[in-house]
């Protein structure tokens, strides 16, 4: 088991590879290329950490490159997920979808402090294996999982003790 290092700023070369991968998916699905879609992809990939749709829309606006409409972003995001550039995450927060870069990043799950919102990313191979095990036993083909641990971090525990 190990902690995941914070997502590094993605390199331009990686962005290129990601866009190539996106183009492949676009072609496969008989879609057309689009500058807007690629800009959304690039800005999303460059954003460190977890972000909401709104965060991304703001980033796009402040990037000055394009000012994509939220509806457009909502339409583009599923494709970026399908293409493996992003992944949905942090389901437990409830308020709206959160995404993070998945392209050329290690798979990981999340440990969330329900008090201050702090998020720790971790990778636990043993659990992944067990998950596959379970699926096999029930005849399922595992395609994904949601795994979030909820707790209270040390700082919040000591702070709340005062309360």
Partner DNA sequence: CTTCCTGCAAAGGCTTTGCAAAGCT
Partner DNA sequence: AGCTTTGCAAAGCCTTTGCAGGAAG
Distance CA 75, CA 36 (A): 11
Q: Which does 146 bind (CB under 5 to 8 A by kind): a copy of itself, DNA, none?
A: a copy of itself
Site string for DNA, 27-66 (x = CB under 7 A): ---xxxxxxxx--------------xxx-----------x
Contact 39, 66 (CB under 8 A): yes
Q: How many Cβ atoms from other residues are within 10 Å of residue 79's Cβ?
A: 18
Q: Toward DNA, which CB reaches closer, 25 or 127?
A: 25
Contact 97, 39 (CB under 8 A): no
Residues forming the site for a copy of itself (CB under 8 A): 1, 3, 91-92, 111, 113-114, 120, 122, 124, 126-127, 130-131, 133-135, 137-154, 157
Q: Per CB under 7 A, does 71 bind DNA? A: yes
Best CA proximity match to 101, nearest among 36, 161, 17, 41? 41
Q: Toward a copy of itself, which CB reaches closer, 101 or 108?
A: 108
Structure tokens given for 147: 């795994």
Contact 50, 98 (CB under 8 A): yes
Judged by the rule CB under 7 A, the positions of this chain that interact with DNA are 26, 30-37, 52-54, 66-72, 74-76, 95-97
């Amino acid at each position: 088991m190990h902690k995941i290092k914070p997502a590094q700023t993605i390199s331009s070369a990686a962005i290129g590879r990601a866009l190539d991968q996106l183009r492949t998916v676009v072609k496969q699905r008989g879609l057309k290329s689009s500058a807007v879609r690629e800009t959304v992809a690039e800005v999303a990939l460059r954003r460190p950490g977890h972000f909401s749709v709104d965060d991304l829309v703001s980033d796009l606006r402040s990037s000055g490159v394009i000012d994509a409409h939220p509806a457009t972003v909502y339409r583009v995001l599923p494709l970026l997920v399908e293409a493996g550039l992003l992944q949905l995450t942090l389901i437990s927060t409830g308020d709206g979808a959160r995404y993070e870069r998945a392209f050329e990043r290690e798979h990981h799950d999340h440990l969330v402090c329900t008090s201050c919102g702090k998020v720790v990313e971790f990778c636990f191979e043993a659990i992944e294996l067990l998950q596959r095990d379970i699926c096999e036993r029930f005849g399922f083909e595992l395609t994904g999982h949601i795994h979030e641990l909820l707790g209270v971090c040390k700082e919040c525990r000591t702070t709340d003790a005062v309360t």
